[in-house]
Amino acid sequence: MSLSKPIMNLLASYLQNLYLHPIRTKSITSCVLGTTGSIVSQLLAGGTIRSDPILAFGLYGLLFGGTIPHYFYELVERLFPEDVVAFPLAKKLLFERLIYAPMIQAFSLYTLARFEGKNHSAALKQLNALYLTVLEANWKWLTLFQVINMAFVPPMLRVLYMNLVGLGWAIFLANKRRQASQKKE
Alpha carbons 35 and 74: distance in angstroms, whole number: 25
pLDDT score, position 3: 64
Q: What pTM value is reported for the model?
A: 0.86
pLDDT score, position 172: 78
> Where would I find the H helices in 50-153?
51-60, 67-79, 88-95, 101-115, 120-152
**Residue 48 CB: number of other CB atoms within 10 A?**
7
Contact between 148 and 96 under an 8 Å Cβ cutoff? The reply is: no
pLDDT score, position 2: 60
Percent of the chain as helix, strand, coil, to the nearest 5: 85, 0, 15
Nearest residue to 69 via CA among 169, 137, 141, 2: 169
Tens place of pLDDT per residue across the chain (185 aa): 566 888 899 989 999 999 999 999 999 999 999 999 889 888 887 778 999 999 999 999 999 999 999 999 999 999 999 888 899 999 999 999 999 999 999 999 999 999 999 999 999 999 999 999 999 999 999 999 999 999 999 999 999 999 899 888 877 776 776 777 777 66
Q: What is the pLDDT of residues 76-99, one digit of tens each?
A: 999 999 888 899 999 999 999 999
